[in-house]
Chains A and B, each alone.
Chain A
Amino acid sequence: MNNLIKVGMAELKVAKSPQIIRTSGLGSCVGIILYNEKAKVSGLAHIMLPDSSCARAGVLNRAKYADTAINDLIQLLGKEGVSSCLLKAKIAGGAQMFKFSSKNESMRIGPRNVEAVKEILCRLNIPVLFEDVGGNMGRTIEFNPATSILEIRTVSKGLVQV
């Protein structure tokens, strides 16, 4: 039971085999998994926004933004003995849950999150081995660091393993 690690919105955590790590109900948010199959270690971040530079005053929750969350995941995995050049990534989410015409830029937040995540990972030379992004459906994802298998659950397609 306690082998399941749940990651909430704007949170990030690390899981080691035999643990499994999950985040539920990704809408426009993006779930970023960084892992190493040999060390059987993985980190998962559930980010809401593309860029911490748009943060207003106050204490910064680093897990909320693509840039700071990826940075912190790499640090945490580094403490587990995995250097960033050995990391691989799988990402999911970034949907547009509602379709309608609006000038409001926040309506396009899903695609902007995905673009930001991919650009940052590319800059850090972390290969994205799998992505299930965009569309208009919510996703729940679960990653098993022992097998590097990602399970994606959606309302319309049910369960998919990759």
Chain B
Amino acid sequence: MRDLSKVRSQHLDILKEAGNIGAGHAAAALSQMLNKTIEMKVPGVKVIPFNEIGEYTGGDETIVAAVFLRIEGEAPGNMFFILPVKEANRLAQRLTGDLSIDFMGDSLNEMGISALNEAGNILAGSYLSALADFTHLNMQPTPPAIAVDMITAILSFGLIEMSEAGDHAIVINTEINEKGTGPAVSFKGHFFLLPDPPSLDKILNAFGVHQNE
């Protein structure tokens, strides 16, 4: 087992590439879904001590809508597609045509949740299938689950597997944006890929890096 606090920068670059491949395909899928141009930022890969997760996400209590999938197969892990709650509203509204959808509202909108679930499913599915094709590792997502809550509370749930092995999380974070429509209407989402610690070696191996290099 790798000690995450000693992961080397060349390994981080490789994981960045994994984020690139996955999110690139997801951005293309979203672009088709919305018929808009979606851009992707260069992924960030970070090894973060648990007690700094809150600072990393820009505030423990930022309220977000999150679609969570557990990855099963040869390289298990956790995956989140996270949107600020306003943007989740906008995405669900665009997908359903129902402008009354509000995930912060009192009454749960089944259509809205179902639309967001499906969007998360398609996006995460394209992320994972691209990564699985490239690495030749078998990875399948479980059906998605949704929560709207504080970002740290949500992310911490995906850190349990890592917390059993160490005190650092390795986070592969890719931001996707709607292109050139100004901040008022721009769409911004994050993919967080949190590989289980044994999966890290498998992913690195698949990119041609071997143990103890």
Q: Which residues does A use to contact B, with CB under 8 Å? A: 8-11, 24-29, 48-49, 54-58, 61, 64, 95, 97-100, 102, 104, 106-107, 109, 136-140, 153, 155
Contacts and interface: CB of A to CB of B under 8 A. Distances in A.
B48 to A, nearest CB: 10
B165 A9 contact: no
A49 B150 contact: no
Interface of A is mostly: loop
B30 to A, nearest CB: 22
B212 to A, nearest CB: 16
B163 A10 contact: yes
A8 B156 contact: no
Given A58-B3, A61-B167, A97-B149, A28 B160 contact: yes
B147 interface: yes
Given A48-B160, A58-B3, A104-B70, A97 B53 contact: no
B164 A54 contact: yes
Contact of A25 (B145, B156, B166): B156
B9 interface: no
Given A10-B50, A140-B150, A98 B145 contact: yes
B61 A49 contact: no
B51 A97 contact: no
B153 interface: yes
Q: Which 5 A-B pairs have the closest CB atoms?
A: A138-B153, A25-B152, A8-B51, A24-B60, A27-B153
B148 interface: yes
A11 to B, nearest CB: 5
B154 interface: yes
B63 A155 contact: yes
Interface string B153-197: 111110111011111000000000000000000000000000000
- Highest count of chain B CB atoms <10 Å: which of A26, A136, A139, A155: A155
Given A56-B165, A58-B166, A8 B148 contact: no
Interface residues on B, range: 35 or more
Contacts of B155: 27
Contacts of A106: 160-161
A24 B153 CA distance: 8
Interface string B49-77: 01111100000110100001010000000
A48 B153 CA distance: 11
Contacts of B50: 8-10, 48, 64
A138 B154 contact: yes
A100 B142 contact: yes
Contacts of A64: 50, 163, 167
A34 B63 CA distance: 29
Contacts of B153: 25-27, 95, 97, 137-139
Given A8-B51, A48-B163, A99-B145, A28 B156 contact: yes
B157 A28 contact: yes
Contacts of B164: 49, 54-56
29 contacts: A8-B50, A8-B53, A9-B50, A10-B50, A10-B167, A24-B54, A25-B60, A27-B150, A27-B152, A28-B157, A28-B160, A48-B160, A49-B164, A55-B164, A56-B164, A58-B3, A58-B166, A95-B153, A97-B68, A97-B147, A98-B145, A98-B147, A100-B143, A100-B144, A106-B160, A109-B160, A137-B153, A138-B150, A138-B154
